[in-house]
Every structure is written in C-alpha cells, then in structure tokens.
A and B are shown apart, each in its own frame.
Chain A
Amino acid sequence: MADEPIIAIRNLRFAYGGHPVLEDIDLTIYEGDFVAMIGPNGGGKTTLLKLMLGLLTPTGGSIRIFGRPPRQVSHLIGYMPQNVHVNTHFPVTALDVVLMGKLKPGRRWTRYSNQDRLEAHKALDRLGMGAFCHRRVGELSGGQLQRIFVARALVSEPRLLFLDEPTANIDTRGQAEFYGLLKELNESVTILVVSHDLLVLSAYVKSVACINRRLHYHDQAEITADMLETMYPCTPDQPCQVELMARGLPHRPLHIPGDE
C-alpha cells in the first residue's frame, strides 16, 4: 500500500471557454512528499488545485486522489485558498471560520462538539492566533487571515494539504516560521504548496512541479536555470523575473520552450 500513489493524474486537459488552461498533465505524488508548485501567474496552478479538489471538472483525462475521484474524497484534503479576503464584512469570528474545517459529508443536522471546539482552539494556537479567536474576520489583517485559513485547513487533520500561496501577506520572519511548521507537519502529511518564493521554498520542499499550461515534475528540490527559463520565459513585460529567481545560478542563453 505504501507504493500506492496519493495523487495520480493521467493525460489531464482543462479548457475554459475554449481556451486551453492545462494540457497533457501527468502527475504522480506519493505519500510523504512535499511539493512546491511554481509557475507564472495564469499558468494554471490554482486551476490544477481546484481540479484535484473536484471544484472544477476536467475537459479530458483522469484524476485519482487516494485512488478515488476527487469529489468523493475532497473532505480528506486540507485546503487553503489563495484569496483570503472573501466576505470580510461577514459577521463571523476566527474560531467559527476554523470550525468550518470540521464539517463532514453526511454529518448534517448536528452541532459542533466540544471536542471540535477544543481542536479548533489548538489549531489556532499552533499558528499563534489563539488570542484572536473571538475577533471578527473583518478586524484581522491579511497575514492574520491567512493563518486563520491555514488553521481551518489543518483542523480536519488531513492526510493531504493544499496551500495556495499561503505566505503572500506574511513577512520574511513569519515565512521562515511558517515553512518550519510545514516541515514538521510533513512528517505525517503530504503537502502541495503553490508559491513564488522559490529561494525560501528550496530549503524545505522535496520536489518541484512547474506549471505553465504543461507540467514538469522534478523529484528533487533543485531549481535549475532550465526550469526557470521554461517556466518564467523572458517577455518584454516581465523582463527580470528569471534573473531575479535565478540569482546565483549560472546564467544560460534563453531558448524558446518546445524548440529543443
């Protein structure tokens, strides 16, 4: 069973309004992996996460999570969405948001148990947000909201964790602390994290998946200049991204992807 992949994607295609967003995606992830998903904006990272959660339906190909279709198992995945600024005027406290992670399929008609509340408090404490549990979401900063949403993803004790740019609003020290926490979690949880902080990430992750309509999976945490060139091609409007990311790597002349 240990060799059974936790995520198995074959030949996946997804088009939105006739425009291909993802093509020929093959991805196999095994238990215990810590994957960084990188790629340019609009490259399809968030779309791939939503396909794996069953929120979107593939145009072609297949996705199996824990060997089953995503919609049947989405509740086993801890998910932190990219946009944490949804409904900031909503009358709901941080604790109540975290408790939403305790909802389960088939468990209708019931209230949250004391055990649920205890675990929600624990999840908040773990992210250093214990003191904010009775604050309304509108009173929290972007970084604090992100921690609340991570706590909501963790409180269900998932075997698989999807995090979509979890540190976008967190300062550098907070980021290091946060990735430290993820590394600790990774002892029992398989993690997929979308991020742009390549240099920070490379110290923590075990493998890298580059997504720019197509996917390249590298089962090492190495970020090579080739990868960066394919993934972040130099365009006139984004001229220095590669240079920025690949600082310290030997510079090579750029080539057009698919022109090998």
Chain B
Amino acid sequence: MLEALQFEFMRNALMAGLLASVLCGVMGTLVVVNRIVFLSGGIAHAAYGGIGLAFFMGWPFLPTTLGFTLAAAVLMAAVTIRARHRADTIIGVIWAVGMAIGVILLDLTPGYNVDLMSYLFGSILTVPFADIRLMLIITAVVGVALVFLYNDLLAMSYDEEFARIRGVPVTALYFFLIALLAVSIVVIIQVVGLILVIALLTIPPFISEKYARSLFAMMALSTLMGAVFTICGLWLSFTYDLTSGAAIILVAGVAFFLSLLVDGLKNRRLRRRAQAEALEAADRENTAESA
C-alpha cells in the first residue's frame, strides 16, 4: 500500500475515498435513522437526468446537474411529507424517469458517447484535484450544519411530532436535510460512482447503529468504517488490478454479512442461555415440590 502512495493518482484516490467516507458516514447515518434510503437511491439515479441535460444543452456540467438533482430531490421530499403512504411508489417513478431522461438526452447529443459504467462505478483512480477540493467544501458545509443543527436533527429523526411541538421547524429542516443530501450525493457520484455512494451511505451506518449510544457516535463509527473499507478496497484494487469502486463495495459487503453473522450467533447464545435458565428454574421448582 505504501509504495502505491508514491503515485499521485493513488494519493488523490485515497483522499477522495476518505472524504467520501466522512460525507457518507454523516449523511448516511441521517439517511438510515430517517428511513430515507430509498429516497437517496432516487436522488442518486435522478442525477443522471441532470448529466444528460448538461451535455444536451451544452450547459456547465456541475451547476446543471446540481440544479436538476436538487429539483428532483425537493419534489421527492414534498411527496414524502404530503402523501407518505404512496411516497415509495412516487419516488420509484421519479427515480426511473430521471435516469431515462438522462439516457435519452445523451442519445440525442450528437457526437457524445458517455460511459454509463463510469457513472455507476465512478473513476476514483482518475479524480482531478478540483473535484477533491469541491468535496472538501461540501464536507465543511455539512460539518457546520451538523454542529449547529445537531439537537434539532436528533429530535426530528427520533420523534418528529414531539420535535414539532417543541418548536423545531421540522418541515424546513427536512427539506434542508434532503437538499444537503442531494448536493453531497452529486459531488460524491462524480468521484466514486453511484453504486459506491449507495453502499457507503447504507452499510457503515447499518453496522454502527447497533453499537452506538448516540447519533454522533453512529456518525463517527460509520466514518471510521467507511475509511477502513475504502483503504482495504483500494489496496485490493491496486494489488490485484481490480475495479476500485467495486472492490471497496465488496469489502463493505463482506463486513455487512459478517456483522449479520455475529448478530445471529449472539442472539442464539442469548436464547440458549435464557432457555437454560428457564429449565434450571423449572428443575428447582420440581425439586422443591417433591421435597
């Protein structure tokens, strides 16, 4: 791994991966506890429509993609608030239509042949420094928002009704959370690709939720886990010449199934112990009765 770091593209890849881990650790925790994983998937896929629009119209890439994705995200957020019972269906529609718009617009763009694979799995090994700087800025924004809004975000995520009664501006805060999520997703997709965004948003928070005593601890643990997955994945990718994004996801996936296995074993042991104790108690009762 260390000899890999003498290459600038490796250093950039590592930095991009670590920044993505921080962003995904914080935002992913909020995504998981607010149960908006599906909505995040919708945002990530609808972003492709923005990419198509940028190429078709010849508009600047980042502002166009950000604008399109924010619009789709706000639409989905509004649907989740107003028609909660059908939210998942409508998000599914926006998800598919956004992606289709992107594909069609790119078809219609003369002379341009975009690589769908690089959108899906990213190209972490060819990240330009400008993208890393952008990620740094977004990470700073998320950090500041978190410092100032932590208690409100916690109250809203745990018990929305109570937060509302206490005067927390829940609706505005929810839209802000979704907007922040959309911006983060667009920035990270550019670097590591759509599939890795979803993996890093969900897998580390899922594992760390069981061990954390606070939302902040869950964020920190998720970030740490994301960083470990990224480093391991990049090492595997460098050593065995594998696709970097997919290697990181597979490492995360193995950790995910290991955590399920550990849970299963722990539960079984607890159940066994409870059974043994129940049997012992019954035995004692029987002895007492016969005596």
Contact = CB atoms under 8 A, between A and B. Distances in A.
Nearest to A87: B158
Interface residues of B, number: 26
B149 interface: yes
A55 B215 CA distance: 26
Chain A at the B interface: SS class:
loop
Contacts of A241: none
A96 B154 contact: yes
A90 interface: yes
A99 B152 CA distance: 11
Contacts of A93: 213-214
Interface string B10-42: 000000000000000000000001000000000
Chain B at the A interface: SS class:
helix
A89 B210 CA distance: 8
A9 interface: no
A49 B149 CA distance: 28
Interface in A84-104: 86-87, 89-93, 96-97, 99-101, 103-104
A195 interface: no
Contacts of A91: 33, 209, 212-215, 217-218
A97 B164 CA distance: 15
B218 A77 contact: no
Contacts of B171: none
Contact of A55 (B151, B161, B209, B212): B161
Contacts of A111: 150-151
Nearest to A84: B159
B240 interface: no
B163 interface: yes
Interface string B163-190: 1111110000000000000000000000
Given A81-B162, A136-B213, A103 B157 contact: no
A16 interface: no
Interface string A151-181: 0100010000000000000000000000000
Contacts of B152: 103, 108
A104 B167 contact: yes
A89 B217 CA distance: 14
B107 to A, nearest CB: 44
Contacts of B157: 87, 90
B105 to A, nearest CB: 41
Contacts of B154: 92, 96, 100
Given A100-B155, A103-B166, A89 B161 contact: no
A107 B168 CA distance: 9
A74 B168 CA distance: 11
Contacts of B155: 100, 103
Interface string A59-99: 00000000000000011010101000011011111001101
Interface in B38-71: none
A100 B149 CA distance: 13
Contacts of B209: 89, 91
B167 A134 contact: no
A25 interface: no
Contacts of B150: 111
B112 interface: no
A81 B160 CA distance: 12
Q: Select the residue from A53, A92, A136 with max chain B CB neighbours within 10 A.
A: A92
B25 to A, nearest CB: 13
Nearest to A137: B158
A130 B164 CA distance: 27
Contacts of A156: 166
A103 B33 contact: no
Contacts of B167: 74-75, 103-107
B148 interface: yes
Contacts of A152: 162
Nearest to B209: A91
A77 B164 CA distance: 12
A127 B215 CA distance: 25
Interface of B: 33, 148-152, 154-155, 157-159, 161-168, 209, 212-215, 217-218
What are the 8 closest A-B residue pairs judged by CB atoms, nearest first? A105-B167, A103-B166, A91-B212, A74-B165, A75-B167, A100-B155, A109-B148, A91-B218
Given A96-B154, A100-B154, A109-B148, 9 more contacts: A75-B165, A90-B157, A91-B33, A92-B213, A92-B215, A97-B158, A104-B167, A105-B167, A108-B149
13 contacts: A74-B164, A77-B165, A79-B165, A81-B161, A90-B158, A91-B212, A91-B217, A91-B218, A92-B154, A103-B163, A105-B168, A111-B151, A112-B151
